Amino acid sequence: MCLLMGVALLSPTHAVAAQTPVAARVAGQVYDSIAAAPLPNALVRLFRPDDPSVGINARTDERGMFAVPELPGGVWVASFAHARLDSLRLEAPLARVAVVENGTIPLTLAIASASSVARMLCPTGSDSAVTLVGEVRSAGDKSPVAGATVSVEWPEWVFAKKSTVREEVRRTARTDREGRYVLCGAARGTVVTARAWQASDSTGQIEFDMPESAYAVLDLFVDRRALAAMLPTDSGAPAPARAGTAVVRGTVQSGPARALPDATVRVIGSGAAVRTDSTGAFYIVDAAGGTQSVEARAIGYEPERRAVQLEPGVPLELSFTLNKRNVLLDTVRVVAGQSLPNDVRSLERRWRQGQGMFLDGATVRERTSTMVTNALTGLPGIRVVSGQGWGNNIVGRNFVGLECRATLFLDGYLLSSPGRYPATLDEMVLPDEVAVLEVYGRSSTVPAEYLTIDGCGVVAVWTKRGLGNVPVFGPQRQK
């Protein structure tokens, strides 16, 4: 009897406890660890793990803060959605929330740090490198391009005695069935040249600023309908390029409402170069679509280059404003009581001997304001040809008169570039920086200072800084 009464007395008590509803307030923040900043306007959702359709939503404020006033008891899963996740090609994190008693539950949701994402995607990668991810798609229908190769390249200089070797470092990756790629080991905090291709379909070469962080995103688009063609260049000579139906139009100015006529605009490696009219307007109609670089340049102005996405048949409007180039004045040469630097004396000696061809800085700048190699056009024994990237290649002749790639010297150092895309002088020196150009078209005229095993003609560039800002006098000035 007592036992039954005890059971009767205890049962109602347990029933009341079981029926008491449990709910908690959930409050916290959504944080972007890659940008090191709160994430405003993120959609936070808490849902049942066994039925995701059952859930409660909240949105973050400008400080990334959110709150759910009342979350019923039980186990929940928390996550969030934001355009930032899509742009970074990342999945939203998941967090388990168990509501077992009344009160407030703190909750922080975050995009993982760049280093964490990089280590996850490239476990064997270097801590000082960048993991680059993205997609390669068709410029027309935006369909994924499977099996495409993505390449990034950047120069690294190796200094050795009497020579400076420029090595082109290259990293590549392949896209999967969805057109996605993960490229490990890119350089941090530098400008790389990026490109994607599949068979004969290719993007243009673009410059991409790698961040100081360990993670970056780059999407690339190829025009599968573009064709190889011989198109006229700014000099009038045809060069191999890709042609398509993408249209680029716009204006080039030298300041607010100041049109810049006769400027050259081109899609690098694609379409024909055009010149602006009297109103500064230009119109390119035969460029390949996809990821390309559009460049505008004019004499006396700093060139501007811009990476763009071109869609076949859809005009892209661009506006360039070019800044005037600062011209550096030569330093006055004062030598009273002091000996000239050895490099200056040797240079003036070779100039007096007349074994090669010499162009002083003023002559170089009279012949070109854009690329140093343009100043060599028309010189005997030298031929200037278009390069694959920015700048021209220089062709000389060997002992038997056959054409060969000219050997290059910069401020007395031999320049060597064994990479796939050898460096050009135009990438390293601007016309305003040149003090003297030495040109020896045939290897038989090369002085002893510039003899190499390559056995080709030589072009040696001396910059003002390389000569200690001491002006060099030609034979007429020395008399």
User: Residue 403 maps to which CATH number?
Assistant: 2.170.130.10
pLDDT band at 227 (very low <50, low <70, confident <90, very high): confident
Asked if 397 and 148 count as a contact pair (C-beta separation under 8 A), the reply is no
**Same domain? 177 vs 138:** yes
Final residue of a domain: which of 111, 142, 166?
111
Do 272 and 369 belong to one domain? no
Range of the domain at 264: 227-321
**Pair 439, 349 in one domain:** yes
Q: How many domains does the chain have?
A: 4
Percent of residues, the chain, with pLDDT higher than 90 = 47
pLDDT value, residue 242 = 81
> Contact at 8 Å (CB) between 121 and 186?
no
Would you call 268 helix, strand, or coil by DSSP? coil
Q: Is residue 426 part of a domain?
A: yes
pLDDT beyond 90 at 243: no
pLDDT of residue 8: 33
φ, ψ at 235 (rounded to 5°): -85, -10
Quick check: is 104 in a domain?
Answer: yes
Written as six digits, the tokens of 408 are 């290059």
The model's pLDDT over 14-32, given as tens digits with 9 standing for 90+, comes to 444 456 789 999 999 999 9
DSSP at 311? B
Amino acid at 256: P
Mark which of 87, 111, 135 sits at the end of a domain: 111
Q: Is the pLDDT of residue 55 over 60?
A: yes
- 130 and 179 co-located in one domain: yes
pLDDT at 416: 59
The answer to whether position 11 is within a domain reads no
Q: Supply the CATH number for residue 256's domain.
A: 2.60.40.1120
Positive or negative: CA dihedral 228, 229, 230, 231: negative
Residue 315 has pLDDT above 70, yes or no: yes
Highest mean pLDDT of the ranges 3-7, 297-301, 393-397: 393-397
d(C-alpha 183, C-alpha 208), whole Å: 14
User: Which residue, 83, 111, 139, sits at the end of a domain?
Assistant: 111
In a domain? residue 403: yes
Whole-angstrom distance, CA of residue 205 vs CA of residue 147: 19
Output the pLDDT for position 387: 66
What pLDDT, on a 0 to 100 scale, did the predictor assign at position 123? 92
Are 444 and 351 members of one domain?
yes
Q: Which of 92-106, 245-259, 375-389, 436-450 has the lowest mean pLDDT?
A: 375-389
Q: What is the pLDDT of residue 34?
A: 92
63 and 88 within one domain: yes
415 or 166, higher pLDDT: 415
* Residue 371 pLDDT > 70: yes
Residue 129 lies in a domain: yes
pLDDT (mean) for 269-288: 90
Q: Is the pLDDT of residue 234 over 80?
A: no
In a domain, 333, yes or no: no
pLDDT of residue 331: 46
Are 286 and 215 contained in the same domain? no
- Cα Rg of the chain (Å, integer): 32
Do 214 and 274 share a domain, yes or no? no
Query: Quick check: 50 pLDDT over 90?
Result: yes
220/183 Cα distance (integer angstroms): 13
pLDDT at position 355, please? 79
Same domain for 62 and 93: yes
Whether 307 and 286 map to the same domain: the answer is yes
Q: Which residue has the tokens 């997609």?
A: 135
C-alpha 160/C-alpha 10 separation (Å) is: 90
Residue 418: per-residue pLDDT: 42
pLDDT at position 368 is: 82
Residue that the structure tokens 């500064």 belong to: 280
- The SS3 assignment for 2 reads helix
Do 38 and 29 form a contact (C-beta atoms < 8 A)?
yes
Decide if 331 is inside a domain.
no
**Mean pLDDT value across residues 52-65:** 96
- Name the band, by pLDDT with cuts 50, 70 and 90, for residue 162: low
| Residues 244 and 232 placed together within one structural domain of the fold | yes
Say if residue 343's pLDDT is above 90.
no
Residue 427, pLDDT score: 77
Domain for residue 5, yes or no?
no
As a whole number of Å, the end-to-end CA separation of the chain is 134
Whether residue 306 sits in one domain with residue 279: yes
